[in-house]
Chains A and B, each alone.
Chain A
Amino acid sequence: SAVISQKPSRDICQRGTSLTIQCQVDSQVTMMFWYRQQPGQSLTLIATANQGSEATYESGFVIDKFPISRPNLTFSTLTVSNMSPEDSSIYLCSVLTGQVEQPQHFGDGTRLSIL
């Protein structure tokens, strides 16, 4: 399976600032996704990162708050903008390699705390 590296692994940020999370994969993948996991909760899909076009956002998530880039088939970024304490969460990227019946694999996540 693909090796997924996420940076930073954790951060503590001030209210009103923005943070960009990077996701790097060691091989080309067809699909990249961004999830959020709030403390003690399940994973919620934020958006699908599309290579060469705008990301596809799920209900409740908007581009102004969570701008996403995917310049190529191995890299994506998620920015959490104008952060508030409610954004404190784990943010995870996941990938699909494109193999038949290949499930999603996750990076180690970014643990974000907003003061």
Chain B
Amino acid sequence: GQSLEQPSEVTAVEGAIVQINCTYQTSGFYGLSWYQQHDGGAPTFLSYNALDGLEETGRFSSFLSRSDSYGYLLLQELQMKDSASYFCAVGGCNNNDMRFGAGTRLTVKP
């Protein structure tokens, strides 16, 4: 089976840096994805790691260590609009069998 662990809530102030960790246990692994979901909205793809290392996309970066079954999402220069839920997800073969973590609720305060 598959399970993912991520913190349920994180709070930070505008301009700060936040790291949301995700550990996983899977029977098969293809990649680690991160999605953002605002209240009332659909999940929006943020980033994807298939190989170890850091992927940077603007203010957001994502890291993966396959040997540690661990990854994180790094959000820099936080803005109020970054307040949302963030889900890590792991996929099996070709990302067909994607499973989601419970989500981390990020609250950005002024």
Q: Which residues of A contact B (CB under 8 A)?
A: 1, 31, 33, 41-45, 48, 92, 96, 101-109
Select which of A43, A45, A104, A108 is within 8 A of B41 by beta carbon.
A108
Closest to A101 in B: B50
Q: Could you tell me if B94 and A109 are in contact, using CB atoms closer than 8 angstroms? A: no
**Contact in complex: B98, A41 (CB < 8 Å):** no
Taking a contact as CB atoms under 8 Å apart, the answer to whether B87 and A31 are in contact is no
Supposing A41-B102, A42-B87 touch, asked if A96 and B43 sit within 8 A by C-beta, the answer is no
Max chain B C-beta neighbours (<10 A), residue from A31, A45, A101: A101
Bitwise interface map of B from 75 to 110 toward A, beta carbon under 8 Å scored 1, else 0: 000000000000101010011111111110000000
| B31 and A96 form a contact (CB under 8 A) | no
Whole-angstrom CA separation of A92 from B43 in the bound complex: 9
Contacts of A106 in B (CB 8 A): 35, 42-45
